Amino acid sequence: MNFEKIIITTHSGQELTLLREREGKWVCPACGSPELAIAPWTDEGPSFEMCGCGLEFGFDDAKGGSKYALESIELNWITWRQKLIRKAKFDKLYEMRLRKTLLNLGVEI
């Protein structure tokens, strides 16, 4: 798929690279699924939208949201992705789907 790259800077100064399909759907930066109706983050803050992978933007990926969240938004996405990959080892159908969506992010498992 061909995605438009959009770079935003959060209020805390973190620079994030987001992907959007030509049809307008946004790609989840954790799982790679192009299913988000709005950008997960903008320069004004998180969308609080929840992806099908279970990640809620502004909660699971933001310090002060979840008690497990790290300081870096992108590190939280990577940590969430690693959790999904571990889960996929027990479900072959889920693993096949995850492999496909992670390719949108350039990640191979």
Q: What is the mean pLDDT of residues 58-74?
A: 87
> Which pLDDT does position 1 carry in this prediction?
65
pTM of the model: 0.92
Which carries the bigger pLDDT value, residue 42 or residue 68?
A: 42
Asked if residues 89 and 95 have their Cβ atoms less than 8 Å apart, the reply is yes
What mean pLDDT value characterizes the chain?
94
Q: What is the pLDDT of residue 8?
A: 96
For residue 20, give the nearest of 34, 8, 41 by alpha carbon. 34
pLDDT value for 63: 82
What are the distances in angstroms from CA 30 to CA 72, 84?
A: 13, 9
For range 14-33, the mean pLDDT: 96
Rounded to whole angstroms, the Cα distance separating 43 from 11 reads 6
At 37, the amino acid letter reads A
